[in-house]
Amino acid sequence: MPKLAANLTMLFNEVPFMERFQKASNVGFQGVEFLFPYAFSADDIKQKLDHYQLDLVLNNLPAGDWDAGERGIACLPGRVEEFRSGVAKAIEYAQILGTPQLNCLAGKAPAGVDPKILRETFISNLQFAANELQKENIRLLIEPINTFDIPGFFLSKTQQAIEIIDEVNSSNLFVQYDIYHAQRMEGELANTIEKYLSKIAHIQLADNPGRNEPGTGEINYSYLFKLIDRLGYQGWIGCEYKPLSNTESGLGWIRSI
* Catalytic (active-site) positions: 143, 240
Provide φ and ψ at 133, rounded to 5°. -70, -35
For 195, the 3-state DSSP assignment is helix
Q: Using CB atoms within 10 Å of the CB of residue 168, give its burial: 0 to 12 exposed, 13 to 18 middle, 19+ buried.
A: buried
Quote the CA–CA distance of 70 and 52 in Å, as a whole number: 32
Residue 161 identity = A
Query: Of 199, 86, 89, 195, whose CA–CA distance to 139 is shortest?
Result: 199
Task: Kindly give, in sequence order, each residue whose CB lies less than 8 Å from that of residue 91, ignoring residues fewer than 6 positions away.
Answer: 132, 133, 136, 138
Quote the CA–CA distance of 221 and 19 in Å, as a whole number: 29
Quote the CA–CA distance of 98 and 12 in Å, as a whole number: 23
Task: Kindly give, in sequence order, each residue whose CB lies less than 8 Å from that of residue 85, ignoring residues fewer than 6 positions away.
Answer: 62
Question: For residue 248, how many C-alpha atoms fall within 13 Å in the half-sphere facing its CB?
Answer: 8
Quote the CA–CA distance of 229 and 226 in Å, as a whole number: 5
